[in-house]
Structure 1
Amino acid sequence: MKRLLALLALVSSLVFALAVPRSDAGQPMSGGTLRYGMVTEVSSLDPHVYVGSSWKVLNAAFYDTLLAFNQDARLVPALAESWDTSDAKTYVLKLRKGVRFHGGEPFTARDVKYSLERVMDPKTGATLRENLLGTKVTVVDDFTIRLERPTPDATLLNVLAMPEVAILSSEWMKSDPNVKVKANGTGPFILKDYEPGVRAVAEKNPNYFRKGQPLLDRLEFRMIKNDDARVNALRTAAVDMIEFVPWKDIDNLKRQSGIRVEASGGAFMNLWINTKKKPLDDPRVRRALAFAVDREAISKAAFFGHGSPLYGPPTSPDSPYFNKDLANAFSYDPQKAKALLKEAGVPEGQELELLVFQGLGIYTSTAQIVQANLMQVGINARIKLVEWANVVESKNKGAYDFMVYGVNVKLPDPDVYAYYFGADSSYWASPIGFRDETIETLVKKGRALTDTDARKKVYAELERRVIEVSPWVFINWRDQAQAYRDSVQGYKQLGGALSESGPGIALPVMWIKR
């Protein structure tokens, strides 16, 4: 038990260390509208299926989770008031009373059971299915739920705080609503209007269970995929806040009067590879791609100094699980790439299609450098520019050769590798049928351990296996920035595993100074 508590305390402190503090002047004021410029055209509101960082903000507006991270990056009660475990295998959660969904239905343990089982249902395609799979959910009474994991799992509380495990109304779901375009949660804001890929409007939930929240009366989400258009909307006060500040504009906006910019780390760029497509089904070919990519050039040209090369697994040097022996597993070595391609029997001029989101400059710039790098080793990468909805569709169908993809660290724990590479995860592996038995075994082993030193050994072995099979090519860390007018108050940038959750976490306490 002591080891378990020590591990949970360590995870909490690690997340806390990634918070970027900022104080706001003045007394918080109720009322007002926040106009928020999003980077992606959110095409679905399903609370269990991740479709990008912008989706996370909407999800947090409409839905709640059992636990949550606050603005100090600490794990706090949400729909669950308290929880207890003696063995990290069986968890008993006491639920909050008097909470209602936006549709008026009372929140009970039945909604928790329904929601968690929906996440585990393969038909849902839920993003965190792999992390909950095998959990037995029992309704003890209306406000008590028991969760039993197949083996000890010290990561469960973190998973229950992720937006992808939001709680739906089981009564509402009986009517078979289209959850892609409708929302009925217990969150701080109520959806009033939604045009997929265009805009969403929400109004204050007057019955929100956190007294005094939210402070804002209204949210207007505008989906502005073009980098320059999004920045200009902020500069001209057409919006109050934007996400995904283009990396080329971060320094300029910092110097502009009346605008604040906050940036933090916690995201990284990759090449996602369809390991079922020939010749990419050969690990030697995938490792060849890893040696062919000039990460230094990408960090400078695409990220304007707000990124750094990533030559090993995506574990932050600040993490106790960082393995310095793997930090330079790859290098920029075109000759080694050529040798691996020759060994794998790949002919000169091999053609591959590189799928690229056209709405962000970092994607297109990265793709152009990768294309030039691969040409040098004999691979003709044809760039296909598409909208974000097409990226998501291709990803979910496994209909691509390889693609440029940005990833935010999803969990403050190395169990995130189950999310990345677990065979049952719909995030990447499941749609293309990727399964590596060594990774599967090590994920389960690491998840079941509560001793940090023992876990370090397991995850070091897992990362060695990831480098060996190279399902992704890790390219570089990147800063993530939000920018807002100085009338916007109450926002705090978070880093690490919470870098893309920060705006959603802040929504209930943000306010407009006027």
Structure 2
Amino acid sequence: MRGRRISALLAASTLVAVGACGSGGGRAPDAFGTPQPGGVLRLGIIADPPALDPFTASNFAIAWGNLLSAIYDPLVWSDPNTGTVQPHIAESLVSDATAKVWTLTLRPGVEFSDGAPFDAAAVKANWELHADPKTGSSYASGAVGLRLTVADPLHLAIELPSPNANFDRAVASGLNYIASPRALGDLAALRVDPVGAGPFVLAAREPGKSLTLRRNPRYWQPGRPLLDEIDARVQAPGTTVSTAIDAGDVDLGEITDPAVADAAKRMGLGTLGLNLNGGLMVVFNTRRPPFDDPAARQAVVDSLSAGEINERFHEGAGTPANGIFDSASSLANLQLRPRENDADQARQAFERLTAAGTRPLEFSFMTTGSTPGTLEPETLYMQQQVQRFAGVKMHAESVDVVTLTRRLITGDFDMALSALWMNDPEPSLFDFLRPGSPANITGYSDPQVTEAMTAARLSTRTDQRSEAYTKVQVQLNKDLPFWVYQEAVNTVVFGRKVTGIQVMGDGVVLFDRIGFRG
């Protein structure tokens, strides 16, 4: 059930090199073949989505990103192979020399599934709803402060509140799905009856069990999609996507647990592994005692070992993190190693904090799991490691994901498990660290980090961005508002008949091109 636990952590974090491989059971399926028209793809999903609108639905691949991709189709998308933002429904999204004024150009002739034109006015209306606090958009940060002007039906002028050379990444990560303007008047209805311009439309739903998506007859690409239908099936308790594919019940799904992904390879299933920035992490509430004191945060981190957690609870299949960036990323600085696993340093710090054990240091540790109220072995290990020092008491609690999300947002915690999955640090890391941002769940604020993050978004050059992010990581290593202990990875798992797979962002599938081999 580790995969469900990671999925829950990812759902809570919405506040926030690809290759085929496999072994066993013969040669692994080829993700990059030429599919034939026709067929029904059975898609595994972790749960029945509570919403399918572009504003509140989680667009992570492990959550409901694949359903959103199929129903809405992206304006632009982030290519994990190249790190570039690619056009789709939009022909282009480009900035002027100041990086403060951008122009979105749309393809002509695109319609929503209800027949409404996909034009600049529709994009403007959607983005304005993202920015409206009453909408409750999970992606509001990318839209707040935008001045939008419809130049003509195919061109939208966008003036940012401040220069951002990476605004296209903000669009690709949170503003890329556009709903029909005819459906925007009733957002409650849109959440259960989505209307987009994607290759598929929602045709039927069996609550808690499945959703049926059928080919959109108004789809803007002639001859696409190749599939006739998508049958999205909710994962049964006690199963994984890989076991469902191996049993012939599902054709494709997403896995975030590296041990489960390794098992899928051994089954001979097709896998597309995607290394991401961020990862599994412990977050501290820096707004209140005891973790308003950096010494307390450092002492907890010195008590723990990322390598031991990986070996004990992830079968050694994961990669212990070296900070917030994927170790293979061009933005990472591998010379910067965050502190951890130093029992002597932890003992000395806790002795000072507890006056040699005479003044107890107590705090809560909030997490979630497959069964709320029951502590996972990984949580019990962390509790044991911290409490081995005199005077230290960590009260661990397991809550459901809704409670975890609410308490992270409101700051009602001392220490908690969380996760951050990022194809690129823009805009997620900026929002995660920006003072006053709803996504800044730790309450962390440092002027040097804010300055470096701002500098990073003013350039598209890798060397300049890397230099700025190195400054960010140096300060994070000192302050430790959070501790990333396992690198983020997402794996698309698929059966032998599936091919033509292209993923975007954190592993969401582009459904205009996927299909079955002949």
Bin of the TM-score, shorter chain as denominator length: 0.7 to 0.9
**How many angstroms apart in 1 are the aligned matches of 2:71 and 2:385?**
44
**Alignment-derived partner of residue 510 in structure 1:** 514
Deviation at 1:355, TM superposition (A): 1.5
**Which segments of structure 1 move beyond 6 Å, counting only runs of 4 or more?**
none
Matched, 1:423 2:439: no
**Alignment-derived partner of residue 11 in structure 2:** none
Tell me which of 95, 100, 116 is aligned to 1:85. Answer: 95
Deviation at 1:114, TM superposition (A): 1.7
**Alignment-derived partner of residue 373 in structure 1:** 385
**Alignment-derived partner of residue 29 in structure 1:** 36
Deviation at 1:418, TM superposition (A): 0.7
**How many angstroms apart in 2 are the aligned matches of 1:428 and 1:340?**
27
Q: Is the contact between residue 227 and residue 359 of structure 1 (CA under 8 Å) also seen in structure 2? A: no
Matched, 1:149 2:152: no
Letter of the 2:161 counterpart: P
57-66 vs 388-397, which deviates more? 388-397
94-103 vs 248-257, which deviates more? 248-257
Q: Counterparts of 1:201-240 in structure 2 under 5 Å?
A: 201-224=212-235, 226=237, 228=239, 230-240=241-251
Tell me which of 306, 310, 314 is aligned to 1:295. Answer: 306
**How many angstroms apart in 2 are the aligned matches of 1:250 and 1:452?**
30
**How many angstroms apart in 1 are the aligned matches of 2:461 and 2:496?**
45
Question: 1:428 and 1:224, CA in 2 relative to 1: closer, same or farther beyond 3 A?
Answer: farther
Q: Counterparts of 1:454-473 in structure 2 under 5 Å?
A: 454-473=464-483
Q: Is the contact between residue 55 and residue 138 of structure 2 (CA under 8 Å) also seen in structure 1? A: yes
Which whole-Å deviations, capped at 9, do the CAs of 1:127-162 have from their partners, x for residues lacking one?
A: 443344432211111211111223331111122222
Deviation at 1:394, TM superposition (A): 3.8
Tell me which of 407, 424, 433 is aligned to 2:420. Answer: 407
Q: Is the contact between residue 272 and residue 403 of structure 1 (CA under 8 Å) also seen in structure 2? A: yes
- How many residues of Structure 1 are paired with residues of Structure 2 in the alignment? 483
**Alignment-derived partner of residue 6 in structure 2:** none
**How many angstroms apart in 1 are the aligned matches of 2:343 and 2:483?**
15
Q: Is the contact between residue 395 and residue 428 of structure 1 (CA under 8 Å) also seen in structure 2? A: no
**Alignment-derived partner of residue 105 in structure 2:** 94
Q: Counterparts of 1:74-473 in structure 2 under 5 Å?
A: 74-87=84-97, 88-194=99-205, 198-224=209-235, 226=237, 228=239, 230-244=241-255, 246-256=257-267, 259-266=269-276, 268-311=279-322, 313-326=323-336, 328-344=337-353, 347-348=359-360, 350-358=362-370, 364-377=376-389, 379-411=392-424, 413=425, 416-429=428-441, 434-449=444-459, 452-473=462-483
**How many angstroms apart in 1 are the aligned matches of 2:262 and 2:467?**
41
**Over aligned residues, Cα RMSD in angstroms?**
3.1
**How many angstroms apart in 1 are the aligned matches of 2:412 and 2:40?**
40
**How many angstroms apart in 1 are the aligned matches of 2:456 and 2:32?**
45
Matched, 1:20 2:24: no
Deviation at 1:49, TM superposition (A): 3.6
Letter of the 1:406 counterpart: A
Deviation at 1:337, TM superposition (A): 2.5
Matched position secondary structure for 1:115? helix
Matched position secondary structure for 1:304? coil
Letter of the 1:54 counterpart: A
Deviation at 1:475, TM superposition (A): 0.6
Q: Is the contact between residue 329 and residue 467 of structure 1 (CA under 8 Å) also seen in structure 2? A: yes
Which whole-Å deviations, capped at 9, do the CAs of 1:232-262 have from their partners, x for residues lacking one?
A: 32222122223216544434432335x3233
Letter of the 2:295 counterpart: R
Which whole-Å deviations, capped at 9, do the CAs of 1:323-352 have from their partners, x for residues lacking one?
A: 2342x1212013322333444459446241
Question: 1:58 and 1:135, CA in 2 relative to 1: closer, same or farther beyond 3 A?
Answer: same
Tell me which of 47, 50, 53 is aligned to 1:46. Answer: 53
**How many angstroms apart in 2 are the aligned matches of 1:273 and 1:279?**
9
Deviation at 1:36, TM superposition (A): 1.7
* Consecutive unaligned residues in structure 2, runs of 5 or more: 1-16, 22-29
Deviation at 1:279, TM superposition (A): 1.7
Question: 1:428 and 1:307, CA in 2 relative to 1: closer, same or farther beyond 3 A?
Answer: same
Matched position secondary structure for 2:127? helix
**How many angstroms apart in 2 are the aligned matches of 1:343 and 1:480?**
41
Deviation at 1:109, TM superposition (A): 0.9
Q: Is the contact between residue 488 and residue 513 of structure 1 (CA under 8 Å) also seen in structure 2? A: yes
Question: 1:158 and 1:379, CA in 2 relative to 1: closer, same or farther beyond 3 A?
Answer: same
Matched position secondary structure for 1:477? strand
Deviation at 1:289, TM superposition (A): 2.1
Letter of the 1:336 counterpart: Q
Deviation at 1:410, TM superposition (A): 4.1
Question: 1:342 and 1:117, CA in 2 relative to 1: closer, same or farther beyond 3 A?
Answer: farther
Q: Is the contact between residue 276 and residue 489 of structure 2 (CA under 8 Å) also seen in structure 1? A: yes
Question: 1:475 and 1:416, CA in 2 relative to 1: closer, same or farther beyond 3 A?
Answer: same
Give identity over the alignment, percent: 23
234-243 vs 190-199, which deviates more? 190-199
Letter of the 1:140 counterpart: A
* Consecutive unaligned residues in structure 1, runs of 5 or more: 1-17
TM-score (ref. length: structure 1): 0.83
TM-score (ref. length: structure 2): 0.82
**How many angstroms apart in 1 are the aligned matches of 2:238 and 2:253?**
10
